Chains A and B, each alone.
Chain A
Amino acid sequence: DSGVTQTPKHLITATGQRVTLRCSPRSGDLSVYWYQQSLDQGLQFLIQYYNGEERAKGNILERFSAQQFPDLHSELNLSSLELGDSALYFCASSDRGSNQPQHFGDGTRLSIL
């Protein structure tokens, strides 16, 4: 158990819809990261938050947004969903310091029908 909790585990929805993925980091971790894992793109970094503020952005589409709340949990919002958004979305957290390892949740599997 990594200590990182992601909900829901599975999400099935239709094109054009909007969904919210939730992540609770390990106790005490200030950084939260979101990654997308798909068959064609592999594991891609989306975005990082540190103590409520955006720290780094990766290959995140404009239709996607994220935030980190004062209690340090984070949400990833995906809107105007397309078939190609079907993927496994991981959240990870780490302690302060760029040399600290990231601990991953079990992911949310998003299926777009």
Chain B
Amino acid sequence: AQSVTQLDSQVPVFEEAPVELRCNYSSSVSVYLFWYVQYPNQGLQLLLKYLSGSTLVKGINGFEAEFNKSQTSFHLRKPSVHISDTAEYFCAVRPGTNTGKLIFGQGTTLQVKP
């Protein structure tokens, strides 16, 4: 079975500061990894994905994430955040099988302060 742990439920940060949202996963099979963002009253929007290849992946809105297989982590980073980045962020894994279900972490609320 697979599981995802997002280590921080809330991350407050000042505008233009860097941020890291942490995600660890557990799986006995290879997985694909995703980060999604959810703005208030909206659905989930894909930020970035890791399927294979380079362990550093870049996504939309200046976000990037690094896959670390030995530490089973997939942390999300942004060098300088904006007020508009305030949202909930979800890390998800997808077992590398024919079933496409996503297993989500509990989410991290990013609060960007002016």
Contacts and interface: CB of A to CB of B under 8 A. Distances in A.
Contacts of A45: 101-103
Of the listed residues B32, B44, B49, B97, the one surrounded by the most CB atoms of chain A closer than 10 A to its CB is B44
Q: Bin the interface of chain B by size.
A: 20 to 34
B43 A99 contact: no
A102 interface: yes
A56 B46 contact: no
B25 interface: no
B96 interface: yes
B97 A98 contact: yes
Contact of B45 (A2, A35, A56, A94): A2
A42 B107 contact: yes
Contacts of A35: 102
B102 A99 contact: no
A106 B104 CA distance: 17
A42 B89 CA distance: 12
A33 B101 contact: yes
Contact of A102 (B98, B100, B105, B107): B100
Q: Is the interface of A mostly helix, strand, loop or mixed?
A: strand
Given A33-B101, A90-B43, A106-B42, A101 B107 contact: no
Given A2-B43, A104-B43, A105-B43, A98 B104 contact: no
Contacts of A94: 100
Given A2-B43, A107-B43, A42 B49 contact: no
25 contacts: A2-B45, A42-B105, A42-B107, A43-B107, A45-B101, A45-B103, A48-B99, A55-B98, A56-B99, A90-B43, A94-B100, A98-B94, A98-B96, A98-B97, A98-B99, A99-B51, A99-B96, A101-B46, A102-B46, A102-B100, A104-B36, A104-B43, A104-B45, A105-B43, A106-B41
Interface of B: 32, 34, 36, 41-46, 49, 51, 90, 94-107
